[in-house]
Structure 1
């Protein structure tokens, strides 16, 4: 009877009756309360499940967009695959906030790698404010190692020994003597052992082999050159010394992937106001090394654009395959040409072109 009165029916409804929600809402609205208000008073607040689902989807999309656009990821496009892996893992405990917090920690650590030879607990304390934050088996350490495996294009380490080797490759706990950087043509005017060594070697037309301990003791106060050329391969430094001798322009060699001594030296030169111009091999790994050096030291790729690659190929391209290629942050067309031609252009192949440009430099002294 109550339902008949509410709906203004002229007869009693059957035992089971269906009333459209819109009709019920309209009738209740005439009494001053809508359907939502009445139900809320009777059973409590009504959840907007569709809205909650839409908000959760939007939050997840925002999280993954933030991760893909993070400067550490953008600076090293090889990490795109790692981003895909992280997405497949899903949210930590179903929480966007917890996932973002973890990823912020991981990206903070990656932003400091290659490290300058610090032990792992020290790196963890410096980046995470927790000396155990990168202990073996932690979520953060596992994701950092997977990112490093992607950067260096090696399998994910399967045991403690392999994990330690990968950390060492990224400059964690490097030996101060075995981590070495090759330098030529640098004549800093400031005091100190490192400045003396560099001047003596430059004046003799020889390369200086600085250990990580040397670089840590360097003083960056004065007399550093405006431009320093950085090469991937020691053979190019040898060519430069053979050609220029005591007039060799300032050059540094990463010897492939930069170790702790290389990164610390280049960062020091950059902080002293030197402009770093980097060149390496035109192949998949060479592009990843260049991106890594640029991201960690502020170096600018030099003669490493798509047009430089095409010019170096010549009319009859021949050479090893370029391997897996990721995008080059400094030239959006380069990766496409590498994949299309699939021919490596080593630094040695373009050595004469590089030397011709260095020939325009006139070293003091």
Structure 2
């Protein structure tokens, strides 16, 4: 303690602070610039270094000379002296490198997460988050928050649950975790805005609408799914209605309310084809009538009823085969359906697109493109040809495929 106090002089504090700061950079230090020193500080420094004249108010001091002078006074190196006076010396360069590594690991984890890789459009969400830095101040807290957001995204579209019920079910019983204005709610909503290619809502009404689009508190009657040729087994109302319509060559429209309580219902154990556009169902009915094989329509972005039916059919043993439009939105819808239902692509490869594009050489631009997880070459082909191909253009090929599965 006596040695420390002999050098811990108020007039030398600027010098010790400068030395402490430079040593904490983690880089080699040969000289330290101190100051500003008052007259008492200049005199103290001159005495310490054995100078025959006063240094300037902001002197540059060779570290080796200072270290030798300190050792002469107290027998300890200058590093020990500044530690005893000002506390531990940190290696800021190493700390920055470690922090950068932890941040890179965080973004690498998020980029490779199965929720993101299944729907590559969410890379735009990842890019936004990365550009804006850590969400919650540290990589660990940010990862916890992102893990919760990914848990919610993986469960969407929801089954029409109110938001607090969904939050409590997914997030350790915390019914307020997704309340409007929370960081977690904002994270999920931004991902949904990217997914549905819409602006991030800035008003409560818009945020409620976005949640509703993702199946949260859906209207059980307005959310429905259109199907033809669906012949499930069972004597429940949904199975019976579906069979009656299929035998008559009519479409069936099933509401979310019906699908929640279908009664005795077992879907067909075989191929079920899925299209994006209702017009394909119309063409199928014209061609096959009461012999039409099972065909379900998402009508664009699938609502909760669509996903619920497709998951039920898959659980009952059906193999789902999906086709949609060859444009930016169509690829994103396809990725969503495949990720949420386990469906496989149906005539949705790069070769299928290139063949279809010859039918519409002056077709519309496909718009914003994002990767297709099932075929990396597909979007490259679309970017090259810049031609959108809607489902109706290849409807004849789709119906030829269905002919092999028509009901006898």
Aligning the two structures, in what range does the TM-score lie when normalised by the shorter sequence? 0.7 to 0.9
- List per-residue Cα deviations over 1:320-359 (Å, max 9, x = no partner): 1111111111110111111221111110000000111111
Does structure 2 conserve the Cα–Cα contact (< 8 Å) formed by 1:220 and 1:272?
A: no
In structure 2, do the counterparts of structure 1 residues 220 and 41 end up closer, same or farther at CA, with 3 Å as the change threshold?
farther
2:141 corresponds to: 98
Report the CA distance between 1:137 and its aligned residue: 1.0
1:289 positional shift: 0.4
Secondary structure in 2 aligned to 1:333?
helix
In the alignment, the residues of structure 1 paired with residue 334 and residue 179 of structure 2 have an alpha-carbon distance, to the nearest angstrom, of 30
- Measured against aligned partners, the alpha-carbon deviations of 1:87-109 in whole angstroms (never above 9, x if no partner) come to 12212452111111111111111
Among 261, 264, 282, the residue aligned to 1:217: 261
Alignment of 1:135-146 (within 5 A): 135-146=179-190
- 1:270-329 CA distance string (max 9 Å, x none): 111211100000001000000111111111111011100100111761211111111111
RMSD over equivalenced CA pairs, Å: 2.6
Q: Which has the higher contact order (CA 8 A, sep 6+)?
A: 1
**What 5-or-longer segments of structure 1 have no aligned partner?**
3-11
Q: Which residue of 2 aligns with 1:74?
A: 117
**Equivalence for 2:38:** none
2:236/2:264 contact within 8 Å kept: no
Q: Does the CA-based 8 Å contact 2:284-2:399 persist in structure 1?
A: yes
Partner of 1:337: 381
Distance 2:213 2:280 in 1: 23
* Structure 1 residues 31-81: Cα deviation after superposition (integer angstroms, max 9, x where no partner): 9x9998898788765423222111111000000111111111111111111
The structure whose Rg is larger is 2
Unmatched tracts of structure 2, length 5 or more: 4-47, 56-60
Match of 1:297 in 2: 341
Contact conserved, 1:188 with 1:225, CA < 8 A, in 2? no
The runs of 4+ residues in structure 1 deviating greater than 6 Å are 33-43
> Per-residue deviation at 1:156?
1.2
Which 10-residue stretch deviates more, 61-70 or 33-42? 33-42
User: Pairwise mapping of residues 13-162 of structure 1 onto structure 2 (< 5 A)?
Assistant: 14-15=50-51, 18=62, 20=64, 45-128=88-171, 129-162=173-206
Q: Distance in 2 between matches of 1:244 and 1:305?
A: 26
Q: How many residues align?
A: 348
Q: Distance in 2 between matches of 1:154 and 1:233?
A: 21
Q: C-alpha offsets along residues 219-254 of structure 1, whole Å, 9 cap, x if unaligned?
A: 586452311100000010111111111111111000
Distance 1:220 1:298 in 2: 23
- Cα distance per residue 1:127-170 (max 9 Å; x no partner): 22311111111111111111111111111112111111111111
Structure 1 residue 258, shift from structure 2 partner: 0.2
Corresponding residue SS for 1:142: helix
Structure 1: distance between partners of 2:349 and 2:273: 16
Looking at structure 1, the residues matched to 190 and 359 of structure 2 have their Cα atoms a distance apart, in angstroms, of 40
Structure 1 pair 306–291 and aligned structure 2 pair: CA distance change class (3 A):
same
Is the 8 Å Cα contact of residues 220 and 268 (structure 1) preserved in structure 2? no
Equivalent position to 2:230, from 178, 186, 190: 186
1:236 paired to 2:270: no
Q: 1:274 to 1:93 in 2, by over 3 A?
A: closer
CA distance in 1, matches of 2:264, 2:111: 36
Contact 1:221 1:272 in 2 (8 A): no
Give the secondary-structure state (helix, strand or coil) at the position aligned to 1:111.
helix
Q: TM-score, normalised by structure 1?
A: 0.88
**In structure 1, how many angstroms separate the alpha carbons of the residues matched to 2:230 and 2:192?**
32
Cα 1:50/1:247, change in 2 over 3 Å: same
